[in-house]
């Protein structure tokens, strides 16, 4: 797509106006713009209606952590991605293949010009987070939005698989996840035991329920989340420090940016040892933000490690 800018100068002494035309190719509308792909497309039903996407997208940009995780897991490494924190960068748990992915701003505020500069042939985002950017993004490349990052994560994995033409592979990834859950549950006899995931932030404790990503993974591994009426409609709730004892469970898992930090477990939790025994610090980058098949397996590996250390 070519954008033409006309700049008109009016010099003094009555000279004739001079028109300067500057041609700037700023974006590609399909894989043909980057000289790759055969131009074949498929129609995908999205929250924005039907979108024609490349049969084999070669240069994708992801704006949502689940889309990044799933794409990498499917072997389609994006050329660019939005991240939760540019200071933290692309999550390390995604492996060596993700090192070369260029950051294009934050998940909540992607940089449109950085996305255009990468000349993508497909952009993946989320309506709830990126709806206001849709027209700009769709002017760069075919743009497909999930409805919400809060939707069941497995359904979103399947959706990304469908968009990338890898539905079967996406199902295989979810099958591997389920099989690993069963393996952990059987090896550690987790049935009948409770587990609670806690995220300390802003002076409060955020508890994650069974419909959250990591909460559902704990349940997939055989644990039960302590029941609360809020779980019927919420994926998480906030507790004030004086109510920390309400998070009691057989297994307490506490997220941290740096699980190796001695201060990863806040005093709010360590001072409530009777209700919150033997808490375990885990990496927030995949327990909270790394939603997807690779993140799920990383969470299960942590659960396996923690339970093995307890035995």
pTM: 0.85
Q: DSSP 3-state assignment of 17?
A: coil
Query: Is-contact 124 64, C-beta < 8 A?
Result: yes
Q: How confident is the model at residue 39 (pLDDT cuts 50, 70, 90)?
A: confident
What pLDDT is attached to residue 202? Answer: 86
Alpha-carbon distance 103 to 105, whole Å? 6
Q: DSSP 3-state assignment of 292?
A: coil
DSSP class of residue 34 equals G
pLDDT at residue 5 greater than cutoff 70: no
Residue 186 CA, distance from chain mean position? 29
Sheet holding 195-201, edge to edge: 236-239, 204-208, 195-201, 251-256, 280-283
Q: Shortest CA distance to 66 belongs to which of 198, 197, 164?
A: 164
The structure tokens 């002017």 sit at 139
Considering the chain, what percentage of its residues have pLDDT values greater than 90?
77
Non-local (6+) Cβ contacts of 233 within 8 A are none
Q: Shortest CA distance to 305 belongs to which of 182, 214, 184, 165?
A: 184
Alpha-carbon distance 298 to 94, whole Å? 9
Q: Which span out of 17-21, 83-87, 120-124, 148-152 was modeled with the highest average pLDDT?
A: 120-124
Q: Which span out of 96-100, 133-137, 244-248, 263-267 was modeled with the highest average pLDDT?
A: 133-137
pLDDT at residue 31 greater than cutoff 90: no
Planar angle of CA 286, 258, 188, nearest 5 degrees: 55
pLDDT at residue 108 greater than cutoff 50: yes
């Amino acid at each position: 797509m070519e954008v033409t800018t006309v700049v008109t100068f009016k010099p003094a002494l009555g000279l004739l106006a001079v028109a300067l035309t500057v041609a700037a190719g700023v974006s590609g509308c399909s894989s043909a713009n980057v000289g790759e792909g055969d131009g074949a497309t498929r129609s995908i039903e999205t929250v924005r209606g039907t979108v024609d996407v490349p049969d084999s997208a070669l240069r994708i940009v992801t704006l949502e952590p689940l889309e990044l995780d799933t794409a990498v897991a499917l072997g389609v490494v994006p050329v660019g991605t939005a991240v939760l924190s540019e200071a933290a960068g692309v999550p390390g748990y995604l492996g060596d293949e993700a090192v070369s992915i260029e950051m294009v701003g934050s998940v909540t505020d992607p940089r449109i010009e950085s996305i255009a500069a990468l000349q993508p042939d497909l952009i993946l985002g989320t309506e709830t987070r990126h709806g206001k950017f849709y027209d700009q993004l769709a002017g760069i490349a075919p743009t497909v939005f999930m409805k919400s990052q809060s939707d069941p994560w497995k359904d979103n994995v399947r959706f990304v698989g469908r968009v990338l033409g890898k539905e079967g592979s996406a199902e295989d990834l979810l099958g591997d996840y389920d099989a690993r859950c069963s393996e952990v549950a059987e090896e550690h006899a987790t049935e009948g035991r409770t587990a609670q995931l806690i995220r300390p932030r802003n002076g409060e404790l955020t508890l994650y329920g069974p419909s959250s990503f990591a909460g559902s993974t704990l349940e997939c591994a055989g644990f039960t989340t302590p029941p609360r009426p809020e779980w019927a409609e919420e994926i998480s709730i906030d507790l004030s420090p004086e109510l920390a004892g309400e998070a009691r469970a057989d297994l307490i898992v506490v997220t941290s940016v740096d699980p190796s930090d001695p201060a990863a477990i806040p005093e709010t939790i360590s001072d409530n040892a009777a209700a919150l025994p033997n808490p375990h610090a885990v990496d927030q980058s995949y327990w909270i933000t790394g939603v997807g098949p690779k993140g799920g397996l990383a969470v299960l590996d942590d659960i396996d490690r923690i339970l093995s250390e307890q035995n």
